[in-house]
Structure formats: structure tokens, C-alpha cells
Structure 1
Amino acid sequence: MSGWRLSRHFLGSTASVREARRFVTAFLNGWPIVEAAELIVSELATNAIRHSASGRFGGRFLVTIHVGRDRLWLAVLDEGGPRTPEVLPDGQEDEGGRGLLLVSTLADSWGVDGDEQGRTVWALLSTEPAAAMQAASCR
């Protein structure tokens, strides 16, 4: 995918989730999909901190925004962990664990690459007007 790409490292702390959202907002200010993108990066960054080595002392995660001709690719690279991120089955009573369900609802597609040494969890959003408005209305 050609286009613009921007990446930034963040410390693996809960305060960095807010910073990651601001990073996305600043880059996508005025786009119809900015709110969906904010929610997605918030969930992915939170998962990196809670479920990977990125949340340990000195840990970090990397947020990448890649804008192509008709797609926005958002990704969070973490420092790995024992479990592969997945959407929890319906009916689970846990208070948490719904972040990837939200990501799967907002994004056109999403996925996970990597292993216990480091994983990239990514989401694709359409930047075409009709699809972007649909993503914005899912909030």
C-alpha cells in the first residue's frame, strides 16, 4: 500500500493509551473515520499493555498509521506474550475482553501477525466516503 506512513513508540503505561489516541487524532483530524480510528488504537494499545511484555517495567509499544489510496491501516506492535489476541466468544461474563470485538465491528478487517516475541495487531478501515460514514456510525 503506497501513501503516507507515520509511527511512534509509547511507554507501556496506561497514560500512553491517551497519548496514542491523541497521536491518531492529530494525524487524522477532520477525517470521517477519526473516531473509529481513535477507538481502535485505544483498544489495541490497552491490549498491548495488559496482555504483553509491553506492559512490564520499561516496556514499549509502537503505533503505526498508514494511509493508502482508499484504506487506513492502524497497527500496534507489542513486545510479545504467551497468548494470541482473539475475540472472546459471546456469552462470556468477564467484565473485560470486549476490545477486539469492538475492533472487529469498527474495522473492515483486522488480524494478528507475529508470535510470543512480538505481535502486530492491525485493523483496516476504508477511507472511501460511504464506508467511512458507516464506520463512523458504528460508534
Structure 2
Amino acid sequence: MTTLTKQIHIASVGRPAYSQTFPCEPSTAEIGRQLLRDVLGIWRLDSLVDHALLIVTELIANAARHTPCHKIRLIVELPSPTRLRVGVLDRAPTRLPAFSRTDDDDESGRGLLLINAVADRWGYDMHSSGTGPWGKEVWAELRIKDGA
């Protein structure tokens, strides 16, 4: 049985979604993974757990490493009946995701390559207010197969 240990935002209308704001630091990845496990259990999408956990780990690590943000927002949603979307929203709109050049012996710099390998698609959306961009959401989607 899964349990959610913290109160999270649940969309009351529209598509199912969960979101939670966390400190923007590498240790947040474990909390994000637990939230994701719980949500996928509730939605009966356990077959997506392994790839979704890799995605959330890399998205949080990238935000912690490449943005000056103090907080991030993890968003898990079903944008359609056939897609799971995992996203991380930060307040650094000028720090856009990009593939890194890495050497064989580099210990980091492959996060987006891993996401690209397991996700059906990924990208980012800019968020703005009336005065201009204030943040971005980097996201990845997994296809939900029949009987997932």
C-alpha cells in the first residue's frame, strides 16, 4: 500500500495532477522519487516506475546543479489518457536545458541524454507573468500502454 506523507496539491478539475514544492537541492530527489512512487501506485501505473524515477532524479539534479533557485516544484500529471508527464518547475527562465559534451570518463553531464533515452518525449515550457518570463518547467513524458 502506498501512502503520501505530506499534503500535496491535487487538481480538483481537469486532468489528474499532483505537485509539491521542495528545496532546490540534490537531496530533494529522494523525496521526489517517493512522491512519484506513491502517485504511480495510486494511478495503478507501476509499470512506469523505473523510467519515471530516473526522469525525476535527473530533472531535480539538473535544477539543483544548473539554477540558482532556492525552491522547485515537482509536477506529476496525466495530460492525456495515454501519457504520464513528470516536470520540474524552477524560477530560472534563462537557464535552458541543453545536452552537454561529455568525455567517456566524465562523472556527470549525461542527465538529459538519459532522459532522452527513456522518455517518449521531453522538453520545456516557459512560464510568464504580465512582465515577462519568470520560470520554466522541464518535463518528460512516458507513454501509458494498455493495461499498464
Q: By the TM > 0.5 criterion, same fold?
A: yes
SS in 2 for 1:53: coil
1:114 is displaced (CA, Å) by 2.3
Moved over 3 A (4+): none
1:69 has 2:87 as partner: no
Q: Does structure 1 conserve the Cα–Cα contact (< 8 Å) formed by 2:123 and 2:138?
A: yes
AA matched with 2:97:
P
Which residue of 1 is the match for residue 111 of structure 2?
99
- Kept in 1, the 8 Å contact 2:93–2:126? The answer is no
Match of 2:11 in 1: none
AA paired with 1:15? S
Please list the CA deviations of residues 13-45 of structure 1 after superposition, one character each: whole Å capped at 9, or x if unmatched.
222111011110111125201111011011001
Structure 1 position 41 matched with structure 2 position 41:
no
**2:121: which partner in 1?**
109
Kept in 2, the 8 Å contact 1:108–1:125? The answer is yes
More helix by share: 1
Structure 2 Cα separation of the partners of residues 85 and 128 of structure 1: 28
Whole-Å separation in 2 of the counterparts to 1:74 and 1:33: 11
Aligned-residue Cα RMSD (Å) equals: 2.1
Contact 1:52-1:81 at 8 Å conserved across structures = no
Confirm whether residue 5 of structure 1 aligns to residue 17 of structure 2. Answer: yes
Question: TM-score scaled to structure 1, two decimals?
Answer: 0.80
Deviation at 1:3, TM superposition (A): 2.9
The aligned length equals: 124
What TM-score do the two structures reach when normalised by structure 2?
Answer: 0.75
Following superposition, the deviation at residue 125 of structure 1 comes to: 0.6
Q: Give the Å deviation of 1:61.
A: 0.3
Q: Which residue of 2 aligns with 1:118?
A: 135
Distance 2:126 2:68 in 1: 14
**Cα displacement (A) at 1:129:** 4.0
Percent of aligned pairs sharing the same letter: 33
Alpha-carbon separation, structure 2, partners of 1:51 and 1:9: 18
Counterpart of 2:47 in structure 1 is 32
Q: What is the aligned counterpart of 1:52 among 49, 64, 67?
A: 67
